[in-house]
Chains A and B, each alone.
Chain A
Amino acid sequence: MASLLRKVSVFILLLIALACVLDPLFTYIHKHSGGTKAQWLNAMHNEHYDAVVIGSSRALWNLDMNAVDEGCGMRTISLANNHFRPAEMLLAMKIFLRNKNSTKKLLLQVDSSVLTDEQEGFSSTLYDFVPFLDDTLIYDFLRERDPEWFWLRHVPFWRYTKYNFKWGLEQTLRSAIGKRPVPFDSTGSYFSPTNAFYGSQLYEFEPTTPASLGADLTELLQLCKSNGIEPVMFTSPNYRVRSPDEVRFAPNRIMATAGLQLFDFTDSLDAQIYFNDNRHLNRTGGERFTKLLMQFAICPGE
């Protein structure tokens, strides 16, 4: 039994040693390369913008910040990211401001799914910030939400093992040779490359939890106030998404209660030719929506 235990212990020790070597190596590579919004944001310092867009894929896919820059004569970027929820938006803005960046306006995409606990498909993407756990701002923010981040920070390599689909071997090797694809342009926009529609003729969205502004969005708005940033709320277009009225109009109701104006574009482009799926615009739809948002919310009258 003793020799068996000795062999198993040696194996475990070798594994721990390997993890201790790989963890700083992976961290170094990811901190010095790009490919995700979190890396892009962390590398951004002392930049000054007229407007910043933030939100989920419905902000990322649907808006072309280059067109905004041209059309409004402004300097804008998009911090929006796939699956971003209020927690990620808040953290992204905190990092943005901590790095001495500034903006006059914050264009915040809100809709029923952002305002409830339920969002289709995937869980929170806080793991986007995995390589930056030695950053106190990020670590404290994450640990406050889930004590597991303690282990993710302190158990060598556990963070890269757990989130290997995002920060795994392939991504690390690609980053090391500078070949990790960057799914957004220099303004942070991802503009859908296709006009194909692959949604359905009826998409039912009936969350069971009630919509509310939530602590993260409230804090985000307070952050805007304390930094002199004008928040502009908007809702991106949908195609045949059916929800009960209390869900459909939750953003309008909640923003009105909070004394905020909401530019509601939910039904503004209700035709299949503008969509990739029921909740994401295609290239043509994105161009139309970008113009609409410029006309009504970003630079009205210009």
Chain B
Amino acid sequence: MGPVNWHTFFFYLYALVACGFGVAVVISTNIVRMAMYLIVSLGATAGLFFLAGADFVGAMQLMIYVGGTLVLLIFGVMLTAQGPLISLRTSGGDWIVAMLLAGCLGALLIPAGLTVKSWNTGRPDVKEEVAQSGAQAVLVSADQKPPVPTAGDMPDVNEDGIPDKQPITAAPLGLGLLGARVDKLENVPAALRPGMSGYLLPFEVISVHLLVVLVGAAYLARSKRRAGNRS
């Protein structure tokens, strides 16, 4: 029996589930089942992220896409799915347009994916880079298994009880959003460092934008009654 690379095995398993249920979304005619297949497909994609060691992106995928589709399923689909919507028949014209669009996208994405050399060969320098900056969590190439912590080999611990060895974490990313580019400290001349405010401004702009959307949604969904005429 030859060696089985479990990492590769699970990669193909998740990829197969994601693609298979993606196709099922297209083929299915029942709108609730479509949403369910979509959730399975998105969940398998989250599994791929976890497999690549990108825990934060994987958890985000679960929280936003899977959870978001769930809410869509509840309020958009289940409550409105009556009569003609319960089974959607796709007409021939729709199929042609969809095939055309999907074909164009596929023609772009597949060559783009296949031409990344390091995905096939693996970059020996990636691991050192990651160990130094501690920020590029996603760059772990697919054939390197993320280190599995066991009770036996706990990392060295300093006096604060915190491991000295820096694991790949999402903390630099979070600090970058809060204004401190801890991953770039050694790259920039000292005079420029006070100006490195990270991604705080885009982060704030997005937050305010979301707040405006929330207030707008609450305004649109408000009760239409006037104050004077309660009956």
A and B held together in a complex: no
Which residues of B pack against A, CB within 8 Å? none
